[in-house]
């Protein structure tokens, strides 16, 4: 895992309510996005790493589920996180 505790807390502070806010959908989506970008860079170098490819697909699905949850429950928070992370949807 490339994220250490300090980096995770910085992500939680930036996108969540505070440094210890690990449960909010925004902080989880931000963490998934960071991990997805790391795995994407890895797969560009190592095309035949199928276990990483499978993990990436699962992670994208989890992020999509969280985005769908946020979209149905609070559209303003959904639009804000999409804009902050520059995600296409």
Predicted pLDDT of residue 15? 87
- Give whole-number Cα distances, 80 to 12, 45, 52, 72, in Å: 15, 32, 30, 14
Number of helical (H) and strand (E) elements in the chain, helices listed first:
4, 0
- Give whole-number Cα distances, 14 to 38, 64, 69, in Å: 19, 20, 20
Predicted pLDDT of residue 21? 80
Contact 14, 4 (CB under 8 A): no
49-68 residue pLDDT tens? 999 999 999 999 999 999 99
Residue ranges and CATH numbers for the domains of the chain are 5-15+25-85 (1.10.287.10)
């Amino acid at each position: 895992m490339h994220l250490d505790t300090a980096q995770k807390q910085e992500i939680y502070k930036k996108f969540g309510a505070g440094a210890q806010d690990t449960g909010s959908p925004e902080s989880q989506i931000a963490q998934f996005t960071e991990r997805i970008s790391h795995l994407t860079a890895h797969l560009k170098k190592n095309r035949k790493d199928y276990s990483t490819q499978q993990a990436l697909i699962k992670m994208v699905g989890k992020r999509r589920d969280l985005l769908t949850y946020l979209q149905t429950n609070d559209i303003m928070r959904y639009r804000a996180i999409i804009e902050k992370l520059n995600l296409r949807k």
